[in-house]
Structure 1
Amino acid sequence: MHSTLEAIAAGAAALVLAGGAAQAQIRTEAVVYEIDGVAYEGFLAVNEGFDEDRPLVLVIHDWDGLGAYEERRATMLAERGYAAFAVDLYGRGVRPTTTEESRAESGKLYADRAAMRARLAAALETAGMQDGVDPEAAAVIGYCFGGAAVLEFARAGADLDAFVSFHGGLQAPEGATWDAMRGDLLVLHGSADPVSGMEDVAALAATLNEAEIDYRMEIYGGARHSFTVWGSGDYEPEADLQSWDAMLRFLDERLR
């Protein structure tokens, strides 16, 4: 009996050590880069346990800027074997702390889509130059404001294999087209989202159908706007987990 218990204990200890070793392979670091002389600071997460470079996934932040949430999502992607780069669209040190500040910073880019596209392109270029990254297999995901940025990057014709919007702003600027779209699109949205409601979902689907874009949508019944954001009043754990799994399947199909 003692020998059996000792063997079980030894096996459990080995699993703990192995898990710790695997976690230790995740390299995270801040990456400072410049756009037109202005500094930006992204966040890179790579699993160094692999010998070869890993497929790249850009992560675009919500309207409150790059923070712990996006860094955790990037690390979760690295744990799944991707190289993840959390994008900074506002500039180094620009991290809104109030609703008013968040609205002001995101509003600047909603009003200047060319600047949004330029910053996204620069982030993609920067991410592709990092150690451990395979820029030839790449995707982008984004949350809320970041989801709107994902759609803008898709319309810009970004050379990516996959685009994923989590509860993003779905309204397009006047005159926007999907003629330059490359790659495939996944839209993950709550049916009770007060920011972009079901009428916006239907309008986007109609536009994508007309443009003959390859896309998928998953709608989570009763989920409100920020259903993936831990600690928010809108958080829905089932919708969070289901949408994350849907994204992983989508990325695996297109990047592996």
Structure 2
Amino acid sequence: MNAIQGTAVDIPTADGTADAYLAHPADGDPHPTVLLYMDAFGLRPRLTSMADRLAEHGYTVLVPNLFYRHGRTPVVELPEFIDPGARPEIFERIGPIMQALTPELAMRDAGAYLSWLAERPEAAAGPVALTGYCMGARLALLTAGTYPDRVAAAAGFHGGRLATDAPDSPHLVADNITAELYFGHADEDPSLPVEQIERLEEALTKAGVRHRCEVYPGAHHGFTQADTASYDRAADERHWDALLDLLKRTF
């Protein structure tokens, strides 16, 4: 494993400044880059630890605060252990912030993140990989279709609303995607019912996208997040195996 360095950074965007976390091997060399899209609970120690783990495997990892328009991290104060069932007010605060991040705004931001990474000495030249969690899985899919020349691979885990009936549903970008995709779906996830799983699979297959979509039995929405009540250790380790395998094939 590589010794790593993690730092707080600021990224200029068309709408302000996004605070973010950057992790990379501490050897001074450029490394293949991963843009990590957060879940709704935001940039916090669990996500920085995930970035560190990827950096230990030889990657430069950027985790932006996607909610920067509403303030710097922490945008919403969270308990050390997050149980929305016991604390419904958490989603009452986060919900409107999530809804304000429209696909148009998110993809404008994605362009800023990708441009910033392209100028960083820690980042190797060439396309990047993406990994996203919950809402971040949706953004990973959208980014792969919006910036196909900049994305070599994208993964999404326990994503919701990936293939809806809406005119801006993420699965509709499938025809533009050139990256290889992997999705690990939560088995017990009301935000991604079976019909959406099937619709996503059909869209990716029809578009000729290299992909694999797997349902993790018994796993709930949020299964990778160890600081939440949804955490599933076995499903989380399966996620790491799948993600690292995708990155290894990509880079």
Q: In structure 2, the residue corresponding to 1:191 is in which secondary structure?
A: strand
TM-score normalized with structure 1 length = 0.84
Amino acid at match of 2:191: V
Structure 2 stretches lacking a partner, 5+ long: 78-89
1:138 CA displacement: 1.4
Matched, 1:34 2:17: no
Larger Rg: 1
Q: Which is helix-richer, 1 or 2?
A: 1
Q: Is the 8 A contact 1:190 1:221 kept in 2?
A: yes
Q: In structure 2, the residue corresponding to 1:232 is in which secondary structure?
A: coil
Q: In structure 2, the residue corresponding to 1:136 is in which secondary structure?
A: coil
1:196 alignment partner, one of 180, 192, 196:
192
Deviations 1:124-153 (A, max 9, x none): 211232232114141010100111111111
RMSD (CA atoms): 1.8
Q: In structure 2, the residue corresponding to 1:43 is in which secondary structure?
A: strand
Q: Is the 8 A contact 1:60 1:149 kept in 2?
A: yes
- In the other structure, the counterpart of 1:55 is 32
1:37 CA displacement: 4.9
Matched, 1:106 2:84: no
Distance 2:177 2:155 in 1: 13
Distance 1:191 1:37 in 2: 37
Amino acid at match of 1:29: T
- Point out which structure has higher relative CO (alpha carbons under 8 A, 6+ apart): 2
1:63 CA displacement: 1.2
Q: Which runs of 4+ in 1 moved over 4 A?
A: none
1:200 CA displacement: 1.5
1:88 CA displacement: 2.1
User: How many residues are matched?
Assistant: 230
TM-score normalized with structure 2 length = 0.85
- In the other structure, the counterpart of 1:184 is 180
Distance 1:196 1:81 in 2: 32
Structure 1 stretches lacking a partner, 5+ long: 1-18
Identity of aligned residues (%): 26
Q: Is the 8 A contact 2:31 2:59 kept in 1?
A: yes
Amino acid at match of 2:234: E
Deviations 1:175-233 (A, max 9, x none): 53322212111001121212212221111101112222111112111111111110322
2:132 alignment partner, one of 142, 146, 170:
142
1:67 CA displacement: 1.6
Structural mapping, 1:199-210, within 5 Å: 199-210=195-206
